[in-house]
Structure 1
């Protein structure tokens, strides 16, 4: 069934992964059921948030938690929190900053765009984004030299968007920050481990609720109690414009409860089965000028099929991507390496019965 047919939009086969531009995750039926019931009911919203945030903190092992409308909102709320603390006058004054701490440091290779610029998320609070080092190298002295009495926080990005080579590691950043009593905020929007970054010394870690966790559009901040208290207080200021509804709060909570029960190895094995099936289906078409390879994500247990365009390919990677997208059903792929002639197929939102459809469409395009 295609629920978007009513507005004349084609069905999408999602081989791109948990991408915001495609709606991120298709929630499990249990999550959808809870959301439907919540959307048709009433609740004291303050009490709901308090109850869910306490339970999520327990589930993740964090001191405290704050639910947001998305990870981008979580970044803004986290930055606002370090600028204001729990002073309501400062919360209401933003983007005018009442106090001397107004600079947020990040490594040059971490100044990414995830569909919007991370530095803009920082500047929305009134803070100044101070980038250090170069895109191909940051050394400890760069961070040491950037820290002043005006430093409010350091943002550390864990993402395929970010440069990882020759950047300071999170433990290195934390070691320097802790000497100056500066909180480190980790942007871990699409990451899978909900405990790692706090364990490595981050003060706050920000996640998307609708990517690895598999919930509806939502976000999560976990970390130090005092900073989470300040995050929650931002509802009296910036976070009011980013509020999350009762149905998404309940959907997020249901999704994270299921997510934390999953066996990571079973999940990896299931994804590998889908990728191997897709590889076999494509190879079975006998397409000339194409080779395939299974490659694992650098930081997450995600196997992906790489479609590699060879010299005798009948079209470029970008041309094939365009043809796949124009098809009905529209087939969406992961295209970060398209300039290098590589198309990736991500299995996380792909149904195993869709692999044959992808192969058939590719064969029709290739031979057409």
Structure 2
């Protein structure tokens, strides 16, 4: 049976749910290039475009895109305001978090010496090594170690994937050490790695800056408060802006980050509309009540769970779980081992459907599919349940 649901087919869906939702009611702007609408139950994922910006952000971006501005003055004004909003000494706006990592590494290699900025990836000076724990050498769609090596620096991994001790870090620090990168991410190994305060305590004895990759994290103050010199965020994930990035931290290092526009960052520049979109999204983000947001997301998860359970499908169970480090509830759909279809097969059918339903699949090998509510509209939960039922009973 075809798993696609369209306006006509919706009236024929067999389910004990009243008034099926017409899946074509929501406009698909990508229809012009013959791409299906995507229902995003995966979360703020780069491969899906991360965030759908709020209407206020879109309006500001539209106005900015049709206007002219002195770009240097715009960046200076926005960066000063962002620093005030986040409580950081200074801020630097980038095109994305990956660019922020590269710019941050370049900054510790060059300082504010323009000759050194223009020389990269040739490093003028003795400091060329960047240390990171082996469990933090992640891929987020690209390898973090490559982002480090792009600057000309050497990525120096310490410990093992299941254990890093203080002596590993102490022993790795030499006169060549330029910085330490610390990753906060679901991609990174969390067990048996050194904590950020532990890393900062060791780094500070040797006057080495610690750069935190916190791309998708929600707290804009925690890592600097724990002693990081720089913290790098995505502007289009938790903050909910357009494609953009943010570096906050020490005044001297941020000045070096900003100077990278005369070098590497020129190839990673961000446009006026995205700068204004990011800033607008940030102002709304900082006004949000975390508890209200968690309650809203929980409501969506509970609605999705009720819709799926209402289908009465055998071989499938659901439960709600919370993210380990962020206030994000998710619905876990567990496919039993003896079921007629595996979790991976169900994922494939959901993706092939029109609308294409995308899920969070880090635990698919263990038979679990997760549904993230952050970019999910509550009216889409019924569509998801209908499609799952049609696939499962087909």
Mapping 1:42-57, distance limit 5 Å: 42-57=68-83
Contact 2:95/2:243 (8 A) holds in 1: yes
Distance in structure 2 (CA, Å) of the matches to 1:301 and 1:311: 30
The offset of 1:333, in angstroms, is 0.1
Measured in 1, the distance between the counterparts of 2:340 and 2:308 equals: 16
What are the superposed Cα offsets for residues 212-258 of structure 1, whole Å, 9 maximum, x if unpaired?
A: 00000000000000000000000000000000000000000000000
Does the CA-based 8 Å contact 1:39-1:246 persist in structure 2? yes
What is the rounded CA distance, in whole Å, between the counterparts of 1:311 and 1:302 in structure 2? Answer: 27
Q: CA deviation at 1:312?
A: 3.1
- Report the alpha carbon displacement of residue 314 of structure 1 after superposing the two structures with TM: 1.8
Equivalents in 2 of 1:257, 1:229: separation in Å? 23
Q: Which runs of 5+ in 1 are unaligned?
A: none
User: Is the CA contact (8 Å cut-off) linking 1:288 and 1:312 kept in structure 2?
Assistant: no
**1:313 Cα deviation from its structure 2 partner:** 1.6
CA contact (8 A) 2:212 2:223 kept: yes
Matched-pair contact (CA < 8 Å) for 2:337–2:367: no
Q: Considering only CA atoms, is the larger Rg found in Structure 1 or Structure 2?
A: 2
Alignment of 1:52-131 (within 5 A): 52-131=78-157
What do you get for the CA RMSD once the two structures are aligned?
Answer: 0.3
* TM-score normalised to structure 2 length: 0.93
Cα distance in 2 for residues equivalent to 1:193 and 1:273: 23
For residues 132 and 215 of structure 1, the distance between their equivalents in structure 2, rounded to whole angstroms, comes to 35
Residue-by-residue CA offset, 1:64-120 (whole Å, 9 max, x unaligned) = 000000000000000000000000000000000000000000000000000000000
Residue 166 of structure 1, CA deviation: 0.2
Aligned residues: 368
TM-score (norm 1): 1.00
* Separation (CA, whole Å) in 2 of partners of 1:284 and 1:245: 47
> Contact (CA 8 Å) 1:108, 1:131: kept in 2 or not?
yes
Moved over 3 A (4+): none
Deviation at 1:309, TM superposition (A): 0.8
Equivalent of 1:329, from 333, 355, 360?
A: 355
Distance 1:82 1:36 in 2: 36
CA contact (8 A) 2:232 2:247 kept: yes
